[in-house]
Chains A and B, each alone.
Chain A
Amino acid sequence: MPASYLWLIPLLPFAGFLINGTLGRRLPRPLVSAVALIPTFLSACLWIWLWFTMKAPGAPESIQSVATLFGNSWISISGFNADFAFTVDHLTLIMLGVVTCVGFLIHLYSVGYMAHEEGYWRFFAYLNLFMFFMLVLVLSANFLLLFVGWEGVGLASYLLIGFYFKKDSAANAGKKAFIVNRIGDFGFLLAMFLLIAHFGTLDFSTVFTSISQHAEWQGGFLTTIALLLVVGATGKSAQIPLYVWLPDAMEGPTPVSALIHAATMVTAGIYMVARTHVIFDRSPYALGVVAIIGAATAIFAACIGMVQHDIKRVLAYSTVSQLGYMFLACGVGAYTAGIFHLLTHAFFKALLFLAAGSVIHALSGEQDMRNMGGLRKRIPVTFWTMTMGVFAIAGIPPLAGFFSKDEILFRTFTSPNPIGKLLWLVGLITAGMTSFYMFRLWFKTFFGEERFEEHHEAHHGDHGHAHGVHESPLVMTLPLMILALLSIIGGWVGVPAALGGHDEIGTFLDPVFGNGVQVTEVVSHSTELGLAAVSVLVALLGLFIAYVLYYKKPGTAASYAAKFPALYRLVENKFYVDEIYGLFVTVLLMISRAILGGVIDAGIVDGSGYAAGASARGLGALTRRIQSGNIRSYAGWLALGAAAVIAVMIFGHSIWLH
């Protein structure tokens, strides 16, 4: 594939966005779907072509394409230059595959899911806009273009979370996501400024080459840059302390939750850390911070996820928790494991969200698991596909989640990090909790008695049509089936040698991460097998507890909860993090309002405005007498002026001389 074709990959969805965004209102729905789906499909085809180009023997490790704008680069000022430059290496290739293929499947699903919604064209326009920015993000060859994509996906996410903007909670959730992300972006921006100050460029290859040429650069400013990048990544990838926006983002339509808030956009932070691993490798301190943030987020979010009742919120906290795993992997230097989990997570989490969407669709908008149950027979396709997703995320072999999660736990266990063993333990407990809350969701939704009402007269979900429980149409179940298949086999690309595999994904990513310091203790295969066995046992334990609490003896969970009311309420209310942030922000707002509003705005800004107005008014009052509108008075002034000029001409000369 010629390198210049790279530009087509993001620009095709952008064309779809332009057409649907401008004309979509007037187009019939099938045409809107076609305009949105065909470019996405073509992008996926281009990715396949690109894949075969890159996999061909003798193919270069990376392809680069620089575009110019009327013969100029993007930004060119003295001492700094930034190009519209795209690059593809094996890491980008994996991300591109996830974005285009999962993206296309979710587009397809949305055709069915959104069929009855208002603003159909708007939804697809936003979705294509998101695809454009996400593809720019993963393709960019410098920090600045990556930042453009980074901000762009934030915008698209804001628009889609607030898709039902007439609902207050949705509009607020959109704003929350955007503002929390801005805090992270602030760190990213500072990191870019530091990079410019130290390297004079934002180009990936230049920066990384110059770091690898200076072995004496350890820590120092690289730690600062890395930590600021982490701030950016915690915002986008919903890690502590900036994770709060992601659960609220579930106000958006379910396909959006699947695409943006599970499979692609939220992994941008992981991608960024992996992409800049050269910087992180030089700073054990920053890596340690990443690992601790990841592990803490993983267990914290899993805790909250265990007691949520909204099916989408459970999945949201699960996403936060899984992103924590990926962060943990990056933090112990196992970038390959992180990207591997990113890949498998994209499959099974997109599947879980879409299946949850199918459940919600079947129940005409019901999202509360307390009002579900017994759906196994009613919506069999959704049930079976979701089962694959649940088993995959819970880490049951040989499904996808097992291999990637196990790889992360193994790498954590063997990492040189002094608290590696503790992080491994946290990860292991989280794995058990993951298994528990996913099977809890599974049992509560599909087993037991039917707790839903058959015909809803009025409800407040995002589905405005009410009829009986029904399986979703093929256009929705087909993506489910494909993703279920991927959730089963997706992990097989990374089967470790200990289990008789070849770890293809590791070999594949070696050109990208191979140069990094990947110091791990040499351990025997038996250790690795033992660790794998432990994590499978923990997953089965989670399954067993969920089975007892929610299938065998439903109601026991509630009685346990009643024994520790304070603790339960604490967790159910998400540790009151939102309230604490709210209080903090409110106080901060009050102070800044007093200073900015009271002193600066009212005193200086308004004061200078009033002063300027008053002086202009006074001057006008003086001079408006001249403008009387009386021609004769004008003529009089004219004559007087002429007389004055003549007087000066005649007498002025002698006056000036003396």
Chain B
Amino acid sequence: MVPISYYLVLAAVLFSIGVASFLIKRNIITIFMSIELMLNAVNLTFVAFAHMWHQITGQIFVFFVMVVAAAEAAVGLAIIIAIFRTRQTLNVDQVNLLKN
């Protein structure tokens, strides 16, 4: 039996990696992946607690998160493709038309 703290520490590490890479990466796809990473870190804590308390609610919630993440991935990748087609770059610092 793996103690709950292991899962939580792993989730915290994954989440921190996600936040850090979201902040420092410039490629849109990488940023997108780091968002997925954060979502999955949260999923991990949900599952861990569901297992610990023997309750199904957390598991169910993870499915919802996955559904939303899948929808988000579909929309987000479509946006990324559209951006690349029009601007020939995926560097967020150059996609700043709305600023100023």
| A positions within 8 Å CB-CB of B | 629-632, 635-636, 639
Contacts and interface: CB of A to CB of B under 8 A. Distances in A.
A472 B23 CA distance: 92
Nearest to A643: B19
Contact of A639 (B23, B92, B96, B100): B23
B19 to A, nearest CB: 5
B100 A629 contact: yes
Contacts of A630: 99
A354 B7 CA distance: 105
A632 B23 contact: yes
B22 interface: yes
B92 A632 contact: yes
B100 to A, nearest CB: 7
Given A631-B92, A632-B92, A639 B19 contact: yes
B23 A636 contact: yes
Interface in B8-45: 19, 22-23
A635 B100 contact: no
Contacts of A639: 19, 23
A635 B22 CA distance: 8
A636 B99 CA distance: 18
Interface string B70-100: 0000000000000000000000100010011
A629 B95 CA distance: 12
B23 A635 contact: yes
A446 to B, nearest CB: 82
A626 B98 CA distance: 17
Nearest to B31: A632
Interface in B30-75: none
A629 B98 CA distance: 9
Contacts of B99: 629-630
Contacts of B19: 639
Nearest to B16: A639
B90 to A, nearest CB: 14
A639 B15 CA distance: 11
A629 B22 CA distance: 16
Nearest to B98: A629
Interface residues of B, number: 7
13 contacts: A629-B96, A629-B99, A629-B100, A630-B99, A631-B92, A632-B22, A632-B23, A632-B92, A635-B22, A635-B23, A636-B23, A639-B19, A639-B23
B12 to A, nearest CB: 10
Nearest to B20: A639
What 4 A-B pairs come out closest when comparing CB atoms?
A: A629-B99, A639-B19, A636-B23, A632-B23
B71 to A, nearest CB: 21
Contacts of A632: 22-23, 92
B25 to A, nearest CB: 9
Contacts of A631: 92
Contacts of A629: 96, 99-100
A639 B19 CA distance: 7
Given A632-B92, A639-B23, 11 more contacts: A629-B96, A629-B99, A629-B100, A630-B99, A631-B92, A632-B22, A632-B23, A635-B22, A635-B23, A636-B23, A639-B19
Nearest to A636: B23
A442 B91 CA distance: 98
A593 to B, nearest CB: 47
Nearest to B24: A632
Contacts of A635: 22-23
A427 B34 CA distance: 105
A351 B92 CA distance: 88
A635 B21 CA distance: 11
A635 B31 CA distance: 12
A632 B22 CA distance: 8
Nearest to A632: B23
Nearest to A642: B19
A636 B25 CA distance: 12
Nearest to B26: A632
Contacts of B92: 631-632
B97 to A, nearest CB: 11
B9 to A, nearest CB: 15
Contacts of B96: 629
Nearest to A631: B92
A636 B19 CA distance: 9
Nearest to B100: A629
A632 B92 CA distance: 9
Nearest to B19: A639
A478 B96 CA distance: 82
A635 B20 CA distance: 10
Contacts of B22: 632, 635
B91 to A, nearest CB: 12
B61 to A, nearest CB: 20
A643 to B, nearest CB: 9
A655 to B, nearest CB: 22
Name, among B22, B92, B100, the residue most crowded by chain A CB atoms within 10 Å (CB to CB). Answer: B22
A632 B100 CA distance: 16
A277 to B, nearest CB: 76
Contacts of B100: 629
A273 to B, nearest CB: 72
Nearest to B96: A629
B59 to A, nearest CB: 25
A638 B23 CA distance: 11
A630 B26 CA distance: 12
A603 to B, nearest CB: 40
Nearest to B95: A631
B44 to A, nearest CB: 18
B46 to A, nearest CB: 18
Contacts of A636: 23
A153 B54 CA distance: 88
A627 to B, nearest CB: 11
A637 to B, nearest CB: 10
B39 to A, nearest CB: 15
Nearest to A638: B19
Nearest to A633: B23
A630 B23 CA distance: 11
Nearest to A629: B99
A631 B94 CA distance: 12
A273 B43 CA distance: 90
A479 to B, nearest CB: 73
A587 to B, nearest CB: 57
B3 to A, nearest CB: 19
A635 B23 CA distance: 7
A636 to B, nearest CB: 5
A138 to B, nearest CB: 67
A639 B96 CA distance: 22
A570 to B, nearest CB: 75
